[in-house]
Amino acid sequence: MNCETPIAWATLVDYWAGDLDDAETDAVDEHLFGCGACTAASARVAGVTLALRSAVPTVVLRSALERMRAGGARVRENGFTPGDRREVEFTADADLLIHRLGGLDLKGVERIDLQITSESTGALVADIEAVPFDSAEGAVFIACQRHYAALPNDTVMSLSIHTAGAPPRTATYTILHKFL
């Protein structure tokens, strides 16, 4: 099974990362539909892509973020304070977009839970108990990856902050994603 005009590995990586424009994506789709060799190569790239996506959790600590940067990841970081509602752009020059949900007093906090919903529909996107947090920085770091473009782009991130002997506090951040 050989191909006379194989799709370049870099193009397949861009295809699975969602970095091709519509015309390029259509061309790759058409080629893959009729070419077993390139479909097999594409499946290998897809496997690697899926493994990498699962390697980066939704919530990270600053130390993990710094390790990713040291490993060559192109990271863009933006900061939010409770109540913020703003648009962020996931540009082509970034591998990872980090939302720093800050402005929090986390002294004595035992646990933080994260719930992500769609602002427009109210649909639950994720519900994660006991997320890692940085009490010294007063923040939770959300790792937004390019494949999240398939999720609602109007996310409301609600932190439920649990401290012993007190009712949970809530901090809410609305992040409107624009994937370029």
Distance from C-alpha of 82 to C-alpha of 18, rounded to nearest angstrom: 31
CB 158 within 8 A of CB 172: yes
Q: Check residue 147 and give its pLDDT.
A: 67
Distance from C-alpha of 108 to C-alpha of 90, rounded to nearest angstrom: 34
Please return the burial class of 119, using the count of CB atoms within 10 Å of its CB with bins 0-12, 13-18 and 19+.
Answer: middle
Residues 6+ apart with CB under 8 A from 36: 1
Q: Check residue 51 and give its pLDDT.
A: 56
Q: Check residue 149 and give its pLDDT.
A: 74
Angle of helix 36-55 relative to helix 9-17, nearest 10 degrees?
50
pTM of this prediction?
A: 0.70
Distance from C-alpha of 29 to C-alpha of 38, rounded to nearest angstrom: 10
Q: Check residue 88 and give its pLDDT.
A: 94
Distance from C-alpha of 157 to C-alpha of 46, rounded to nearest angstrom: 29
- Six token digits for residue 83: 């109540």
Domain boundaries, the chain: 9-55, 59-179
- Encode the chain (180 residues) as per-residue pLDDT tens digits: 688 899 988 788 778 777 788 899 899 999 988 898 888 888 887 766 665 555 678 899 999 889 888 877 889 999 999 999 999 998 888 888 999 999 999 999 999 999 999 999 999 989 999 999 989 999 999 998 876 777 788 999 999 999 999 999 999 999 999 987
Distance from C-alpha of 137 to C-alpha of 166, rounded to nearest angstrom: 21
- Phi, psi (rounded to 5 degrees) for 167: -65, 155
Q: Check residue 44 and give its pLDDT.
A: 80
Q: Check residue 9 and give its pLDDT.
A: 81
Q: Check residue 86 and give its pLDDT.
A: 96
CATH topology for the 59-179 domain = Immunoglobulin-like (2.60.40)
CB 114 within 8 A of CB 126: yes
Beta strands per DSSP E along 18-74: 59-60
Q: Check residue 146 and give its pLDDT.
A: 74
